[in-house]
Structure 1
């Protein structure tokens, strides 16, 4: 992901931080009129939230922060959960990230009551796409799905050690 950034709908670079990405100052497309304040607009904004959280938690702890591969796993799980909520879940309706004693706890809410799907694959056939939920389940220490009347919450715990 070095230097890789998503491009927003109007061709500008993503926001510099969670407040700019999710707050009232971000530009809105007409169909974004119902966007919830505090909810990242896309996977890049959610990754920014997680990156800043990890930096704040481990800043100044020489040698005590998570390894680069662990950070990469946390950002990949973040991207996949948010992207799946946007593409397949009727839109992202909630997002939280927090550090606990067990690791990074991500909660992603969307507007669909459909269960996440792992695509059926024929043996020996490589396909494009459909790996997101499989990656989340493989990289997270724990994953749970809670179904609500207007959607669902997916909670994933990513170990940071």
Structure 2
């Protein structure tokens, strides 16, 4: 049974992680139900990591969608690289980077990666309650 469905599809791709966070923040605050601050922070961290990684490592964001269905936030970030996100090497503790992806996987309810004709799409869900 669907209690609440709010959908937003960005007409323009976010040029920065801050723009993507602003869109997700506005979407989450459009709900009639109050939102726990920890969940809000998790949602914004996940958004920031996905968009930053797409810009930094994957040729940029090619599509961005955020929507709320039932009590879940669904994010989909598409980029221009078929490479999977990297994680920091345990054998090289001085490595810079590679820590955001494990955080996304830890915070999210589910994470799926699908290869597309021009790169990949990362679909993340986060339980809002």
Among residues 95, 102, 108, which one is paired with 2:64 in the alignment?
Answer: 95
Among residues 107, 111, 134, which one is paired with 2:80 in the alignment?
Answer: 111
Which stretches in structure 1 are left out of the alignment for 5+ residues? 1-21, 23-36
Q: Relative to total residues, which structure has the larger strand share, 1 or 2?
A: 2
User: What is the SS of the residue equivalent to 1:122?
Assistant: coil
Higher normalized contact order (CA 8 Å, seq sep 6+, divided by chain length):
2
Give the whole-Å Cα distance in 1 for the aligned partners of 2:42 and 2:23.
15
Give the whole-Å Cα distance in 2 for the aligned partners of 1:54 and 1:148.
28
Deviation at 1:129, TM superposition (A): 2.5
Give the whole-Å Cα distance in 1 for the aligned partners of 2:78 and 2:124.
12
Larger radius of gyration: 1
Report which stretch shifted further, 114-123 or 130-139. 114-123
2:88–2:95 CA contact under 8 A, matched in 1: no
Which stretches in structure 2 are left out of the alignment for 5+ residues? 1-9
Q: What TM-score does the superposition give when structure 1 sets the normalisation length?
A: 0.69
Alignment RMSD (CA, Å): 1.7
Give the whole-Å Cα distance in 2 for the aligned partners of 1:68 and 1:113.
34
Please name the residue that 2:16 is paired with.
42
